[in-house]
C-alpha cells in the first residue's frame, strides 16, 4: 500500500509541471466583440458588430495545439448602427434570433504558424446550422492589469459564405446583382482574463 502511495505521489509530482502549463481564461465581455463586413448593393460595405462575446479559452503555452476555445455570441445583440436594418437582421429573413438566440464556436484543433500566428479550426453554429471553419489570428503574451488580473488578447478572422448557414434572403436589383453580398468577413477581437 505504501509503495502504491509513493508511486501515486511520484506520478502526481511529475504531472504537476505539465498541468501548470495549461491555464483557463475567460472572455472579458466588456472588451470582446465580433465584427463583420458584408457588401451592400455591390457598391458599399456594411459594418456590424456583436458586442459582448463570452466563453472560455484553455491555453497551453508549452504546446498551443493542446489549447481550446469555446465562445458564444448573443445573436440579438447585432448592431449595424441602423435600427431598422438591425431588426431585419434579427428577423426570420436572416438570423431568426427568436428561434436561434446564440451563435457558437467550439474549436476542434489549434495549430501554430510563423511568429504568433494561429490557425484555430472548429465548429461554428449560426442559424441552427453547424459548419467547420478555420480562424486565422494571433495571441498576445499575458500581462498583469492594474487590479492584479492576468490578461491577454486574441484576434481571429475568417470569411464565410452566409448561404452555407441558411442565410439566403436576398433581392435582385434592376441593374442585376444582389442587394446583399454572400461573403461575410468576420473578426473576433477578444480580451481574456485568467480564471
Determine the 3-state secondary structure of 66 from DSSP: helix
pLDDT number for residue 122: 98
What domains appear along the chain, each with residue ranges and CATH number?
Answer: 23-194 (2.40.128.110)
pLDDT number for residue 140: 92
Q: Do the beta carbons of residue 89 and residue 95 sit within 8 Å?
A: yes
Cell of 6: 509513493
pLDDT number for residue 171: 76
pLDDT number for residue 10: 46
State pLDDT tens for residues 38-47: 887 676 899 9
From residue 39, give the alpha-carbon distance in Å to each of 106, 149, 175: 27, 40, 16
pLDDT number for residue 115: 66
Per-residue pLDDT of the chain (195 residues), as tens digits, is 555 445 444 444 444 444 446 899 999 999 999 999 988 767 689 999 999 799 999 999 999 999 999 999 999 999 999 999 999 999 999 999 999 999 999 999 999 877 668 999 999 999 999 999 999 999 999 999 999 999 999 999 999 999 999 988 777 766 666 678 888 999 999 999 999
pLDDT number for residue 172: 76
Global pTM value: 0.83
Rounded Cα gap, residues 31 and 17, in angstroms? 31
Query: Where do we find the cell 448573443?
Result: 74
pLDDT number for residue 175: 67
The H-or-E segment that residue 7 falls in is helix 2-21
Rounded Cα gap, residues 127 and 113, in angstroms? 31
pLDDT number for residue 9: 43
Amino acid at each position: 500500500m505504501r509503495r502504491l502511495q509513493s508511486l501515486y505521489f511520484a506520478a502526481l509530482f511529475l504531472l504537476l509541471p505539465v498541468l501548470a502549463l495549461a491555464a483557463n481564461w475567460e472572455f472579458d465581455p466588456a472588451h470582446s466583440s465580433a465584427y463583420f463586413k458584408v457588401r451592400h448593393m455591390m457598391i458599399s460595405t456594411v459594418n456590424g458588430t456583436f458586442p459582448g462575446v463570452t466563453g472560455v479559452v484553455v491555453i497551453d503555452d508549452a504546446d498551443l495545439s493542446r489549447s481550446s476555445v469555446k465562445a458564444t455570441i448573443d445573436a440579438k445583440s447585432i448592431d449595424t448602427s441602423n435600427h431598422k436594418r438591425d431588426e431585419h437582421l434579427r428577423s426570420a429573413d436572416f438570423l431568426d434570433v427568436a428561434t436561434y438566440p446564440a451563435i457558437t464556436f467550439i474549436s476542434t484543433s489549434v495549430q501554430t504558424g510563423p511568429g504568433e500566428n494561429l490557425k484555430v479550426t472548429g465548429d461554428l453554429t449560426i442559424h441552427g446550422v453547424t459548419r467547420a471553419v478555420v480562424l486565422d489570428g494571433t495571441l498576445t503574451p499575458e500581462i498583469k492589469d492594474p487590479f492584479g488580473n492576468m490578461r491577454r488578447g486574441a484576434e481571429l478572422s475568417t470569411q464565410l459564405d452566409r448561404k452555407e448557414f441558411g442565410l439566403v434572403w436576398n433581392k435582385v436589383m434592376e441593374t442585376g446583382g444582389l442587394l446583399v453580398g454572400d461573403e461575410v468577413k468576420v473578426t473576433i477581437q477578444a480580451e481574456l482574463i485568467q480564471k
